[in-house]
Amino acid sequence: MAFAGSRFPRLCVLFVPALLLAPALFAQAPAPLETIPDPARIPAAVVPFVNPLWQELEAPAALKGPPPKLKDLEAASTLIVGVRIDEAGKVSEAVVPEPPIRVLGAAVQAQAPRWTFKPAKKDGQPVRCWGTYGVDVEVELEDAVWSTFQLVPVGKDDPLPILARELPGDTWISRYPSALEPPEPGVLSVEEVDFLPMPDKVPLKFESTRLKSRVLALVEVTGLGSVKRVVPVGPQEPLVLRWVRESAKGWPLTAARKGGAPVSSWLALDATIEYSLGSVKERGKRSIKKNIRGVPLP
């Protein structure tokens, strides 16, 4: 009992000051930290898409009446054909990567197996190769009508189109690799041979036929109401696109208006042409030392 009695006053002396200070210590303690969201988990602000060619206009550009009739087209062009030629000069396959009109490419592929060439040579010996053959032609397109024609302002929510890549003349062949893709055992690229395969008997005939082509494009209209340019959207037939561009020069249009004044603007064209392939005349032919058997660069 003496032990307990003698220690208790000391303990009281020690604990009493702590008890007296506790309220003050709790009052000075910092407030709990506020939880901050993880920046990586905060959703990004959604920005509404707006087509960059769209404008808020008082009045859009528009045709004055129906689209004018297409005049007959006479145009010079070149068919570039890839041909697999064996040691005897016979053709077993042909490809036409970018025909001026699809029907011409299909006709070439159908007739090419009847062609013969003087074979390519490597180290003085005939070899199998993929040659490149160019045929210069004069094409006449006639009796055209618009079976559908829609020319409307570019919409605010219209998606961005994929524009077709256009290269002048035959420069598109420069995008192809020098080697065959995919490789073919025992078959050389025309760029590997010492002597090019030369056309021997290459008859080419085209029959007049009724055709249909669709054109998708963006059309820029100036503040004066004339067409400044026609930009193709997606794959196109070069001669048909040329035809539409020639026609567009004479389209009667009213210019768009913004703030009370005429302004340039963009329209979206979706049209289909029905026409006849009148004639195709061969004007020249040649072998080309450039491979087109493969996948072109973008």
252: which 2 tokens? 């009667």
Cα separation, 61 vs 222, whole angstroms: 9
The DSSP secondary structure of 55-69, one letter per residue, reads ---SB--EESSSPPP
Distance from C-alpha of 98 to C-alpha of 192, rounded to nearest angstrom = 23
Query: pLDDT value at position 290?
Result: 97
Query: Would you state the pLDDT for residue 3?
Result: 36
205-253 pLDDT, tens digit per residue, is 998 899 999 999 999 999 999 999 999 998 889 999 999 999 999 999 9
Q: How far apart (Å, rounded) are the C-alpha atoms in residues 13 and 283?
A: 120
Residues forming a β-bridge with 127: 120
What is the average pLDDT value for the chain, to the nearest integer? 87
Residue 77 — pLDDT band, cuts 50, 70, 90? very high
Q: What is the pLDDT of residue 116?
A: 97
Question: Does residue 53 register a pLDDT over 70?
Answer: yes
pLDDT of residue 13 exceeding 50, the answer is no
Report the distance separating Cα 166 and Cα 161, nearest Å.
15
CA distance 20 to 283: 112
What pTM did the predictor assign?
0.80
Q: In this structure, what DSSP letter does residue 260 have?
A: T
- Of 25 and 103, the structure prediction assigns the larger pLDDT to 103
Are 202 and 133 spatial neighbours (Cβ–Cβ below 8 Å)? yes
Burial call 150-183: b when 16+ CB within 10 Å, e when fewer = ebebbeeebeebeeeeeeeeeebbeebeeebeee
Distances (CA, A) of 13 to 7, 8, 17, 82, 282: 10, 9, 7, 107, 120
Residue 35 has pLDDT above 80, yes or no: no
CB 49 within 8 A of CB 157: yes
pLDDT for residue 47: 76
CA distance 93 to 88: 14
pLDDT, tens only, 147-161 = 999 999 999 999 988
Task: Kindly provide the b/e burial profile for residues 23-38, where b requires at least 16 CB atoms within 10 angstroms of the residue's own CB.
Answer: eeeeeeeeeeeeeeee
What digits encode the pLDDT tens for the residues 166-213?
888 888 999 999 999 999 999 999 999 999 999 999 999 998 899 999
Count Cα atoms within 13 angstroms, Cβ side, for 291.
21
pLDDT tens digit sequence for 21-34:
344 333 444 555 55
The pair of three-digit structure tokens given for residue 249, joined into one six-digit string: 């020069």
